[in-house]
């Protein structure tokens, strides 16, 4: 075997040793719990939006700002930041050398791609939490709109933005399917769970993933509408999506239902942190 081949195998072995380390996995599970806390806070803010509370911003930035405003919030945000950062590394480990228990091979490849994509999401959230913990902002609507305007101004910019919207719709459909068909259970090891804990984890996932899908799907529709009508100043984030849901006929009831689902997803993340396959 060549020197390069030996170096490659050594790197893979080192990555596996790191991702299999119990302390590393413990920190990653803390990150999953932190992710659940963020979504539980989003659910709380969504209820406030549904009930017409002024100043309620039901997106991840708003959830982080709400956590920061609590007693000891700065320390809590640093803990969330560290947990999410390790969770990013854990997901990257899954994407490269992990998930060896998944069979057949093509299914393992698909789940590794999922892990890589979620690592990006967790990374963005970790950056936002870290900026707030350090005394900065988590990002503003004005920055989001400026970025959208720059992308739309590019050659084929509308097509690019529209493609992002379609991708979000596809993700939304997958999350709904994943919840209804209980596909998330494949990522859990419930062999040591009590019957009550097993049932709770499954029911929370069944409620949480479709709610997440509805939220992502609404964002996708907003992005597609913005691309088609060329409206770069239109807000398209999670807060805008939930506000849009609230504006529909029976919107208050619909948003309260989605908020309940997001709260279920937040609680499900705690079970995911406890029973996630390592």
Summarised one tens digit per residue, pLDDT across range 215-245 is: 888 888 888 888 888 776 666 667 777 777 7
Distance CA 160, CA 180 (A): 30
3-state secondary structure the chain: CCHHHHHHHHHHHHHHHHHHCHHHHHHHHHHHHHHHHHHHHHHHHHHHHHCCCCCCCCCHHHHHHHHHCCCCHHHHHHHHHHHHHHHHHHHHHHHHCCCCCCCCHHHHHHHHHHHHHHHHHHHHHHHHHHHHHCCCCCCCHHHHHHHHHHHHCCCCHHHHHHHHHHHHHHHHHHHHHHHHCCHHHHHECCCCCCHHHHHHHHHHHHHHHHHHHHHHHHHHHHHHHHHHHCCCCCCCCHHHHHHHHHCCCCHHHHHHHHHHHHHHHHHHHHHHHHHECC
Q: Which of 273, 255, 216 is CA-nearest to residue 60? A: 216
**How crowded is residue 82: how many other Cβ atoms within 10 Å of its Cβ?**
18
CA 46 to chain centre: 16
Residue 155: both structure tokens together: 């050659």
Distance CA 55, CA 165 (A): 27
Q: Between helices 238-246 and 22-50, what is the axis angle to 10°?
A: 40
**CA 166 vs CA 31, 179, 219, 221: distances in Å:** 29, 20, 10, 8
Q: Which residue has the higher pLDDT, 137 or 122?
A: 122
pLDDT value at residue 270: 94
Distance CA 157, CA 159 (A): 5
How would residue 58 be classed by pLDDT, with cut points 50, 70 and 90?
low
Bridge partners, 204 (sequence order)? none
Q: What are phi and psi of 192, to 5 degrees?
A: -100, 0
Q: Is the pTM above the cut of 0.75?
A: yes
Q: Which of 209, 218, 184 is CA-nearest to residue 58? A: 218
Q: Which of 10-35 are b and which e, b meaning 16 or more Cβ less than 10 Å from the residue's Cβ?
A: eeeeebeeebeeeebbebbbbbbbbb
Summarised one tens digit per residue, pLDDT across range 154-203 is: 777 788 888 888 988 998 999 999 999 999 998 899 999 999 999 999 99
Distance CA 129, CA 109 (A): 30
Of the ranges 115-119, 260-264, 273-277, which is most confident?
Answer: 260-264
pLDDT value at residue 271: 95
pLDDT score of 108 more than 90: no
Summarised one tens digit per residue, pLDDT across range 63-87 is: 788 888 888 888 888 888 888 888 8
pLDDT value at residue 99: 66
Q: Which residue has the higher pLDDT, 178 or 52?
A: 178
The region of weakest confidence among 82-96, 106-120, 144-158, 173-187 is 144-158
């Amino acid at each position: 075997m060549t020197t390069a081949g030996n170096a490659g195998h050594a790197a893979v072995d080192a990555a596996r040793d790191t991702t299999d380390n119990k302390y590393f996995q413990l920190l990653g599970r803390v990150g999953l719990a932190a992710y659940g806390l963020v979504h539980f806070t989003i659910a709380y803010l969504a209820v406030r939006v549904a009930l017409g509370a002024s100043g309620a911003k039901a997106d991840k930035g708003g959830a982080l700002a709400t956590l920061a405003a609590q007693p000891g919030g700065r320390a809590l945000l640093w803990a969330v930041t560290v947990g999410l950062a390790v969770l990013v590394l854990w997901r990257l480990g899954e994407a490269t050398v992990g998930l060896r228990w998944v069979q057949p091979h093509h299914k393992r490849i698909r789940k590794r791609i999922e892990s890589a994509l979620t690592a990006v999401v967790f990374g963005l959230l970790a950056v936002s939490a870290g900026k707030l913990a350090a005394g900065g902002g988590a990002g503003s609507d004005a920055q989001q709109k400026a970025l959208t305007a720059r992308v739309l101004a590019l050659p084929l910019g509308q097509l690019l933005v529209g493609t992002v919207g379609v991708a979000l719709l596809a993700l939304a459909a997958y999350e709904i399917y994943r919840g209804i068909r209980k596909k998330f259970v494949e990522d859990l090891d419930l062999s040591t769970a009590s019957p009550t804990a097993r049932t709770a984890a499954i029911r929370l996932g069944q409620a949480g993933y479709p709610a997440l899908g509805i939220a992502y799907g609404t964002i996708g529709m907003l992005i597609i509408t913005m691309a088609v009508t060329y409206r770069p100043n239109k807000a398209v984030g999670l807060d805008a999506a939930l506000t849009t849901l609230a504006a529909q006929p029976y919107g208050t009831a619909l948003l309260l239902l989605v908020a309940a689902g997001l709260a279920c997803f937040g609680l499900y993340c705690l079970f995911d942190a406890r029973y996630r396959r390592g």
